[in-house]
Structures are given as structure tokens and as C-alpha cells.
Structure 1
Amino acid sequence: MTGLLTEADGSPVAVENPDALSPVLLICEHASRRLPEKMGSLGLSADALESHIAWDPGALAVSQLLVKSLDAALIYQRFSRLIYDCNRPPEAEAAMPPVSEIFEIPGNAAIPAAERLARTAALYVPFRDSLSGFIAARKAGGRLPVLVTMHTFTPVYHGKTRDVEVGILHDEDSRLADAMLATAGTSPRFAVRRNEPYGPSDGVTHTLIEHGLKNGLLNVMIEIRNDLVSNEIGQKVMADYLTGLLGESLVALSQ
């Protein structure tokens, strides 16, 4: 496989509000369930391709509301994580998973080395470079970005109900996560927990490490239970909540 994307596919990366006044840079690695034209359906049914295995439902919608409420910038991936999960490094099997939850993904079974390279070059490299370039430009201008990656998760996983509603995830740098958890605790509105339903041991903090920790930037990963953001009302409620949570936490850290 040579070039993965066609002209009809368009760019793999989208950037919104790049001149934002807020330091917050929102990142959405799992924003879309689209598949590149050349990849067909990966052997999956339409229902599977609409499910959480292909994307994070509601994550982009909430992110776009935060762009407006915070005057934040947003960078997101325009293709499904089933082709390449941009929150994983190229050497990780989960970057192109052969199985996701209960679904086997025929198109990801025994991917040839050349195709792995093509997927990495087409999707991961432009996404990584877009983030790196944005961060470098901000730092050169004397403005340090605050990285906030946006995700959603399923209410039930392998038959087990999850009662956490909002996860505040971090790797070694917990400064922003600590502030957000402290702020959330002052007026409990949702069940907010540290490193749930995932944490560093699950391999979900690649973006935070690669672009946050390595640049010494404040960073956090937000996981929202997707039944809470399945419609516009829920998305607005959650965006309002996170606007306050992030805003108050950043003020606290600046004092």
C-alpha cells in the first residue's frame, strides 16, 4: 500500500480556532468514525462501525462547545481509531487493534509491515506533527499551552456497569488533574474520579507523555461516560460543567 488517503478523503487532521486567546489546547484523537476510502469497512458491520469501538461518541461535540466557551484551540483526528489510534505510538499493537472489546476486526488481522507504515505515515505522523507545531509556535510566542485531551467511554464494559461519570486522568504530572479533582470535590455534580475507568497502566496517556510531559506543559485527559453526552442537551450540560471546572482549576494553579 502506498498513499492511504485519497483526495476525496481530505486532510487527516482538523484545527479549529488556532488563534485562541485561552492557553487551553483541546485534543480529540477519537473524534471520528470515518474510514479512508481505500480501507473499505475493515470487514465490520455498519453497527460495529457506528459503535464506540470506532470512535468516542460525543467527544468532538463537547470539545467544540468548549472551543467557544473557553476560547480554546482544538486539534482532532478526522478518521477512525480503527485505522490508527492516534493516542498510541506506532510500535503499540493497540495503534491498529486486531480486536476491540468483543469485536474482531478482520481488516486489522496480520497487517503487513508496509501497510502499518502507510497508516502511520497517513494518520499518526500528520497528527503528531500538527500538535508539535502548534505547541512550538505557542512556546516561541511566550505562551505555554495547557493540553486537555477529550474522550468518552461506555457505561458497560465486558458486562460490568461503570458508575464513574467523569474520569480525570494523568500520568506522572498530576498538577492539573489534582486541581480539577479538588475543584470537583467542592460541589459534587458528577461522579468524578482519578484515573478511571482507565489509567497509565492501560496505555492511554501517550499524547499526554509525548506532547505534555516532554514539553513541561500542564496536561490532563478527560473521560466522559458517553450516555451523558448522547444528545445536544447532555453535551451542553457537560461542556458547561467542564468550562467551570477547567477555568477554576487553572485560576487556582496560577495563584
Structure 2
Amino acid sequence: MLNAGAPSAFLLLGDHAGREIPRRLNRLGVSDAALDRHIAWDIGIAGLGARLSALLEATFVAQVYSRLVVDCNRRPGADGAMPAVSDGEPIPGNRDLSPLAVAARMAEIYDPYQEAIAAALEARAGRQTVLIALHSFTPSMQGQDRPWRLGVLHRHDSPFSSAVLARLRQDLGEAVGDNAPYAMDETDNTIPLHADARGLDYLELEVRQDLLADAEGQAEMAEWLAPRLVEALEARALFGEVDTGSPPK
């Protein structure tokens, strides 16, 4: 966790910010090249999150383990939470997992991450809070180019997401996807898990990975995004009811 107790209304999350694999899992039997790919982590998000954390004075809770070990943005037991194949890449260490092996990964990786988010939210009780889950996407998927620079993922129930979409499109137009390249749906876990029960507003933001390929790109994107996120927070009342940071009654 970076910048614990920071004053910003934003709580930044990185479900796939790292690509560590517990030593006992023998790298899941995959190559170095596979671990460099988007299947293992959200490329550039650790750096982007750290820079946004500093610029916004916001806490950043980041998952350091690879999404191939446990995808923390999938509900426990969901398809794809521990994939045997990811974007055509076999993951030998995820084949035929026993219930005991699954439970061990959940206890070691999934539970502490979600508990850290819950603890950060508990520490903010009574304060305005907006969750921002940071993700990145590959420029090409299964032979299809993805023209968007950023994507705003939401369920049509988030004034902040609507405000961010409107603000980013002022500068980039259709290069900002509305539920593209992904739509926020029942496969998503972290935002529904923590925002819904507490009545919090949220944003799931996707950034194209080539824009975050190095430290310079990550810094440039953070410096571009930070003021626009603040502007969207100030404008979100125009897009619907604003939460108070308290659980719904």
C-alpha cells in the first residue's frame, strides 16, 4: 500500500499491478516471455498508480502477484480466476488444481488483498471516497487492433464514471471507449465487492499498454490524467446523485 491515510477522496486500486509468483509454484511452468505479456499482469499500472498516488495525494492499494496465480478481479471460484489457458498461452501450473491448492492461493493472495482494501476503506469511514480501479489493455487482442487510448468501464450507475468519460472525451473524443475495450459486467469483482455494499461511487479505468511501456510514458499519463480526474470529481453532481461515503440504509 502506498500513501496510506492520504487525504484525497480517491482510493486507487491495482488488481493486476504485479507479476510475482510464489516460489513453490515453479513459475506455473510458463516462460519468461509469457510473464512479460499482458496475460501475467496489467503492464504499466504499478508505475501509473504510484505516480497518480503522489500527484493526487491518494492511497494506492496494489496487488503484487500475477493474475495467473489468482485473478483478484474475479469472484472466488469463477472461470478464469486461475486459468489453465490465457489468450492462447497454456498455464501448466493451473491444470487440475485440487481444492486444497485453490484454497491455499486464495488465503495467501486473494484474501490479504481484499482485506487491505477493506481496511483502507474502514480507516476512511465518514470521508468522501471514490474507488478507482486502474487497469491496462493490450493494443491488439486475437488479431484485432484496439484503437482506444483509454476505456471507462461502468454499469451506468456511476456519476463519477460518467463525468470522467465526458471529461476525457473533451480532449480525445472517440479514442476514449465507453465500456470498451471491455464492458464492466458480472465478471468484475473488486469494484462491486467494495463499492456496492458501502454505497460508493467508482471508476474502472483502462489505459492502452503501449502508452505505459516505460517510466516516461507512465509519468506522462499520470500528469495528464490527474487534473482531469479532479475536474470530473468536481463535475460529477451534474451526472447524478453523489454519494456521502456512508453505506446505504
Verify same fold: TM over 0.5.
yes
Structure 1 CA distance, aligned partners of 2:93 and 2:164? 40
Does 2:229 align with 1:243? no
Name the structure 2 match of 1:174. 158
Name the structure 1 match of 2:92. 106
Paired amino acid for 1:158: Q
Deviation of residue 101 (structure 1)? 0.4
Which sections of structure 1, spanning at least 5 residues, go unmatched?
A: 1-14
Paired amino acid for 1:252: A
What are the within-5 Å matches in structure 2 for residues 1-255 of structure 1? 15-139=1-125, 142-188=126-172, 191-201=175-185, 203=187, 205-253=188-236
Q: C-alpha offsets along residues 48-97 of structure 1, whole Å, 9 cap, x if unaligned?
A: 11211111110110110001110000001111111101111112021111
Answer yes or no: is the 8 Å Cα contact 1:149–1:221 preserved in 2: yes
Paired amino acid for 2:81: A
Please tell me the root mean square deviation across aligned C-alpha atoms, in Å.
1.5
Per the normalisation by structure 2, the TM-score is 0.91
Per the normalisation by structure 1, the TM-score is 0.89
SS of alignment partner, residue 172 of structure 2: coil
Q: How has the CA–CA distance of structure 1 residues 254 and 233 changed in structure 2, closer, same or farther, with 3 Å as cutoff? A: same
Structure 2 CA distance, aligned partners of 1:21 and 1:118? 35
SS of alignment partner, residue 95 of structure 1: coil
Q: C-alpha offsets along residues 204-233 of structure 1, whole Å, 9 cap, x if unaligned?
A: x31110011221111011100000110122
Equivalences, count: 238
Deviation of residue 253 (structure 1)? 2.3
Deviation of residue 174 (structure 1)? 2.3
Deviation of residue 190 (structure 1)? 7.8
Deviation of residue 242 (structure 1)? 1.3
Deviation of residue 23 (structure 1)? 1.1
Which aligned runs of 4 or more in structure 1 are off by greater than 6 angstroms? none
Structure 1 CA distance, aligned partners of 2:223 and 2:177? 18
Answer yes or no: is the 8 Å Cα contact 2:12–2:134 preserved in 1: yes
